[in-house]
Structure 1
Amino acid sequence: MPTLTPTADVHGAYPRLTDDQITILRSCGQKRQVCEGEHLFRAGERTDEFFVVLSGRVAVVETHDDLDHVVQWHGPRSFLGELGVLEGQTAFVSAVVNRPGEVLAVGSGALRDLLTREPALGDVILRAYLLRRTMLAGTGTGFRIIGSPFSADTRRLLEFAARNRLPHRWADLEKDTEAEALLMRLGIAPEETPIVVWHDYRVLRNPSNVELAQAIGLRAETAAKGVCDLVVVGAGPGGLAAAVYGASEGLSTVVLDAVATGGQAGTSSRIENYLGFPAGISGMELAERAVVQANRFGARIDVPAEAAGLEQRDGTSLVRLADGGTLTATNVVVATGARYRRLTAAGVERFEGLGVHYAATVWEARTCRLDTVTVVGGGNSAGQAALFLARESPAVHLLVRGGDLEHSMSRYLIDRIERHPRIHVRLHTEVREVTGEDRVESVVVEDNRTHEQQVLAARALFVFIGARPATSWLADAVTLDGRGFIPTGQDVAQATADIWKPLARVPLALETGLPGVFAVGDVRSGSVKRVASAVGEGAMAVRLAHEHLGEVGPPATR
């Protein structure tokens, strides 16, 4: 192992605990003597313990090409781990004792309880864990995905890892000599890719998203059979809010999402107008905090788990899953949100994942650092992406189809964009073509008034051009409006009057055309497309679910 050198703390990623904080942790932990060379946890294995170094020194290392590379060292008063400790995931790095001493070990369950009972200490730990996860992602630590950029399965795995904020690195089969050497070592032919390689050279051959999730501990166990109080379909801000409030109020709660927690908000680099966060908060951090909170109250979060249908039987709702399973619940909250529309210009489909992105987080940004990029869209998501990318990009072209930004972008974003020297706003501009050899190299744009075209050199294109509701899985189960969104309350009462006559009431405020089925957030017709609004609706839906439970009775009595 190489000689350890101190690494500067980054915004609180490696804080030292105070005497009082260690005393609190001692109340639910056990002291343990450790010797040099002992592993406290290993990459690729789950750990259910949180460690504080009381004396001695511990190295956090990543093994790459049979060599140990030090990520960080921890001395007295430091604590180990990152976000996976709280979420039951496998470790992405190993912790090895470098100097013998003593550690304090706290079970992960006790730690989650502590985050709620001791908010000041909990915030220190959670903030550090979130930062460490981001740092691991930024350096490409974690499992390896080996495959061709022209493979749809390679792009699928890369998108899944990025959306779920999983530390990983990609070895490009077309360019990376490391990929070729590793395939030879593993005895795998190029045509057998993509593969996912774990730290101990365990190989997953073209795994499905579910298989990859299960391997790293991301996906929860299959929910127990029977009727639960609440199933939440969609894990964006609205769905996670429903999960937190439902579980905290004693409802048996299961959350499903086909891709990742966080929804569209999870792809945002920074949300600056969310109440209570004056310095802003990244979509990733907001999502991870909500997941930890929901887990703490007992909600079961199952990702990826795709809902494929909905029907009602004998007063309960049956959610059919794409894998053939089913969940039965007294109440269902539909929070599937909306998806950014795909750009239809020539060349876009070919370069999706190769420079064309529909999110702007650290995962996408690391592929085009120090390069000129373009952002398409005139809403808050586009504005936030432009500001985030301009931190390192020499130039960001913000392409807006309309004649101004005021129509759909918040004033605080407009002011910052107009003052930023590296962001160039192009109004009345639309993308006509994306060109390049094996990735995006330039974007052909057109003035939609004069039809004059221009070629912009750019290594990436980030698209935020409006959204379509994710309601195809509902088919004819609930009433939809003309654009595919779900009307609720009075907006759907007349169209579904026959359903409500036996109940002698009209739909509740967020209730759809089916009793006990609620819609919240972007998927709801007429909703305000803001994170705070979705969170409020998620909380309100739980209050309404209690009313429906009072009407039909809890599952145990039926």
Structure 2
Amino acid sequence: MDSNDAVQHEETPDTHGAYPRLSDQQIEVLSVCGEQRKVRAGEVLFMEGQPCSHFFVVLSGKVAIVEGYGVDQRVVHVHGPRSFLGEMGLLEGQTAFFTGVVTEDGTILAVPVSELRGLLASEPALGDLILRAYLMRRSELVGRGAGFRIVGSEFSPDTCRLLQFAARNRLPHHWIDLEKDRQAEALLNRLGIAPSETPVVILGGDKVLRNPDSAELANALGLRRPAPEADTRDLLVIGAGPAGLAAAVYAASEGLQTTVVDDEATGGQAATSSRIENYLGFPAGISGAELAERAVVQASRFGAEINVPAGAVGLERRDGHYVVRFDDGASAASRTVVLATGARYRRLDAPGIEALEGLGVHYAATIWEARRCRADPVAVVGGGNSAGQAALFLARQSLPVYLLVRGGDLGADMSRYLVDRIERHPRINVLLHTEVREVNGTNWVEFVIVEDNRTGERRTLPVRALFVFIGAVPCTSWLAGVVALDSRGFVLTGQDALPACDEDEWGHLDRIPMALETNHPGLFAVGDVRSGSIKRVASAIGEGAMAVRLLHQRLREVGATVPR
């Protein structure tokens, strides 16, 4: 069958604002930076798995968005006149997850993406329309399981790792379960891949990555960009959680050349939260992943460069600047650095748990983990807000949910509104004074043994998943011996860092460290990684914004040109 025949489709109606029509005035604004082109049916505007350099507006004719073009293809949407193509990945420099095929002769307007970014900042109404539609499209695509394919067994830790990476970075993807999906065997046979070679990632038709690590997959999808050391930037933010993204937004909006890196995904620990309900301005709550995605868009809109994954492994002073080394051997230089590496949930120490991490043992409760639990019973360990939100989120489909709390008061470390909901929820069983003593299962969690820490009585809970939220460990092992840390490994700032300051570094400045500054001038720490910080999203964002105000002073000290 001819490829063009296979994508004939009636125009899809507007869906909840994800596919709006542009006005004559908006098209006129875009036309200043673009060019009109005649197109014919069958012409491919952009290809799945390849970068797209232009933003397209359909002036006349029709364009289909096709998944798996040429191989088991499926039409995702058809754009008619006044529609614009693309989704969030276009602005973030990612490769296309779909193919754009002209299905009816017409005219399109092609605007270089580099020009589009400028328009988003200078034309707020147009920018809001495009960004809102792109956010909704990305959410829709992720929700329906569209995008690149991951083929592998649910019992494979590497399959779980790839699925988690895709989910944490909010990438459109579809999992083909080696054991349960009927199309898995046929697909592998057609590609000449043995089951023993899985997991594999299939991009752009038949491009196959065999068990790629996170960096390889990120490179293939366009998530990573080179950060040459020779290009000394104004600010390098290490960590893309709420604090780091806030610093990026405020710095980039003030004209500072800003780069953000993270070793796993944007959003940090907050992105693993199913719901944040006590953040100002969101009375209905917002998921951590959605908050992170909006922040990334905002930072990118102001010109910040975001690289994921890029794990920092070393930091040194060189010629008055800071040079950060990364796990892939690359390095980047900057006049100032903001440390926003945050903290990770502590691993639970119980026999059998290590072998089942990723196979039913989770340290996050997002849609991806919830889908894997289906309606099976689960257990949540912890007494803080994250554990409470996870229990409520999982209770939507799992029956029952056991909330295991070491202490005797659920309200000791948890917000009152969560306590009230949990105590009233018919599917949540709260077990106080309870600790996990053993985790069992062959290829997956099958049951856990818990103990009452007052009586020593043990019982077995038949659960298929265990979610752990028990305290935080700062991500500062790579900073030991370089930056002053407290006894728990958190970064000291302000007057707390003063005893560790070197006279050679500070003597000529005639000042002490500023509020968020470490024992090195121009090196700041914000959010959960900072000693004495309040572990809340709102305070982390506030510290990120405050750090930008302070680092302007440092830039003036080193003679850097500070934008107004």
TM normalised by structure 1 equals: 0.91
AA at the equivalent of 1:292 = V
| Residues 146-155 or 424-433, more deviating | 146-155
> Which residue matches 2:117?
112
> Which residue matches 2:238?
233
The alignment partner of 1:67 has SS state of coil
Distance 1:59 1:147, change over 3 A: same
Q: Please say if 1:551 is aligned against 2:564.
A: no
Shift of 1:16: 4.4
Shift of 1:226: 4.2
AA at the equivalent of 2:277 = E
The alignment partner of 2:324 has SS state of strand
> Which residue matches 1:373?
378
> Which residue matches 2:79?
74
> Per-residue CA shift, 1:475-508, capped at 9, x if unaligned?
2001110100011001121343645344332111
Matches within 5 A, 1:388-427: 388-427=393-432
User: Using the alignment, how far apart are the partners of 1:106 and 1:369 within structure 2?
Assistant: 44
The alignment partner of 2:96 has SS state of coil
Q: Please say if 1:459 is aligned against 2:493.
A: no
AA at the equivalent of 2:309 = P
Contact 1:488/1:525 (CA < 8 Å) preserved in 2? Answer: yes
1:530 aligned residue (523, 528, 536): 536
Shift of 1:259: 1.0
User: Using the alignment, how far apart are the partners of 1:76 and 1:419 within structure 2?
Assistant: 52
Shift of 1:32: 4.1
Contact 1:138/1:362 (CA < 8 Å) preserved in 2? Answer: no
> Which residue matches 2:516?
510
Matches within 5 A, 1:81-480: 81-149=86-154, 151-173=156-178, 176=181, 178-223=183-228, 225-480=230-485
Contact 2:408/2:432 (CA < 8 Å) preserved in 1? Answer: yes
Shift of 1:311: 1.9
Contact 1:355/1:440 (CA < 8 Å) preserved in 2? Answer: yes
Shift of 1:308: 0.7
> Which residue matches 2:3?
none
The alignment partner of 1:527 has SS state of coil
2:50 aligned residue (42, 45, 50): 45
Distance 1:344 1:10, change over 3 A: farther
> Per-residue CA shift, 1:237-276, capped at 9, x if unaligned?
1111112222222322222211111111122222222222
AA at the equivalent of 1:393 = S
AA at the equivalent of 2:513 = P
User: Using the alignment, how far apart are the partners of 1:354 and 1:479 within structure 2?
Assistant: 37
Contact 1:163/1:260 (CA < 8 Å) preserved in 2? Answer: yes
Contact 1:145/1:194 (CA < 8 Å) preserved in 2? Answer: yes
User: Using the alignment, how far apart are the partners of 1:412 and 1:8 within structure 2?
Assistant: 40
AA at the equivalent of 2:463 = A
Shift of 1:210: 1.7
The alignment partner of 2:73 has SS state of strand
The alignment partner of 1:242 has SS state of helix
User: Using the alignment, how far apart are the partners of 2:375 and 2:23 within structure 1?
Assistant: 40
> Per-residue CA shift, 1:13-40, capped at 9, x if unaligned?
3444556655554554444444333333
| Residues 534-543 or 177-186, more deviating | 177-186
Distance 1:2 1:310, change over 3 A: closer
Shift of 1:213: 0.9
1:520 aligned residue (515, 521, 526): 526
User: Using the alignment, how far apart are the partners of 1:530 and 1:467 within structure 2?
Assistant: 13
User: Using the alignment, how far apart are the partners of 1:435 and 1:127 within structure 2?
Assistant: 45
Distance 1:52 1:424, change over 3 A: farther
Contact 1:223/1:300 (CA < 8 Å) preserved in 2? Answer: no
Runs of 5+ unmatched residues, structure 1: none
Contact 1:44/1:198 (CA < 8 Å) preserved in 2? Answer: yes
Contact 1:229/1:555 (CA < 8 Å) preserved in 2? Answer: no
Percent identity of the aligned residues? 66
The alignment partner of 1:366 has SS state of helix
Shift of 1:10: 5.7
Shift of 1:219: 0.7
Distance 1:412 1:21, change over 3 A: farther
User: Using the alignment, how far apart are the partners of 2:415 and 2:117 within structure 1?
Assistant: 36
User: Using the alignment, how far apart are the partners of 1:72 and 1:30 within structure 2?
Assistant: 24
Contact 1:227/1:555 (CA < 8 Å) preserved in 2? Answer: no
AA at the equivalent of 1:271 = I
Shift of 1:80: 2.7
User: Using the alignment, how far apart are the partners of 1:424 and 1:448 within structure 2?
Assistant: 17
> Which residue matches 1:542?
548
> Per-residue CA shift, 1:306-363, capped at 9, x if unaligned?
1111122343222122222222222111110001112222332222222222222222
AA at the equivalent of 1:168 = H
AA at the equivalent of 1:404 = D
AA at the equivalent of 1:158 = L
User: Using the alignment, how far apart are the partners of 1:56 and 1:227 within structure 2?
Assistant: 46
User: Using the alignment, how far apart are the partners of 1:480 and 1:237 within structure 2?
Assistant: 21
Contact 1:137/1:363 (CA < 8 Å) preserved in 2? Answer: no
User: Using the alignment, how far apart are the partners of 1:284 and 1:122 within structure 2?
Assistant: 21
Contact 2:227/2:331 (CA < 8 Å) preserved in 1? Answer: no
Shift of 1:123: 3.1
Shift of 1:8: 7.3
Distance 1:19 1:420, change over 3 A: farther
TM normalised by structure 2 equals: 0.90
The alignment partner of 2:68 has SS state of strand
User: Using the alignment, how far apart are the partners of 2:496 and 2:274 within structure 1?
Assistant: 35
Shift of 1:235: 1.1
AA at the equivalent of 2:188 = L
Distance 1:98 1:189, change over 3 A: same
The alignment partner of 1:235 has SS state of coil
Matches within 5 A, 1:22-37: 22=27, 24-26=29-31, 28-37=33-42
CA RMSD in angstroms, aligned pairs only: 2.8
> Per-residue CA shift, 1:351-394, capped at 9, x if unaligned?
22222222222222222233333222222222222233333334
User: Using the alignment, how far apart are the partners of 1:528 and 1:322 within structure 2?
Assistant: 30
User: Using the alignment, how far apart are the partners of 2:16 and 2:409 within structure 1?
Assistant: 36
Distance 1:41 1:487, change over 3 A: same
| Residues 325-334 or 143-152, more deviating | 143-152
Distance 1:55 1:402, change over 3 A: farther
Contact 2:157/2:358 (CA < 8 Å) preserved in 1? Answer: no
Contact 2:7/2:66 (CA < 8 Å) preserved in 1? Answer: no
Distance 1:399 1:104, change over 3 A: farther
User: Using the alignment, how far apart are the partners of 1:455 and 1:55 within structure 2?
Assistant: 65
Shift of 1:110: 3.3
Equivalenced residue count is 556
The alignment partner of 1:320 has SS state of strand
User: Using the alignment, how far apart are the partners of 2:433 and 2:407 within structure 1?
Assistant: 5
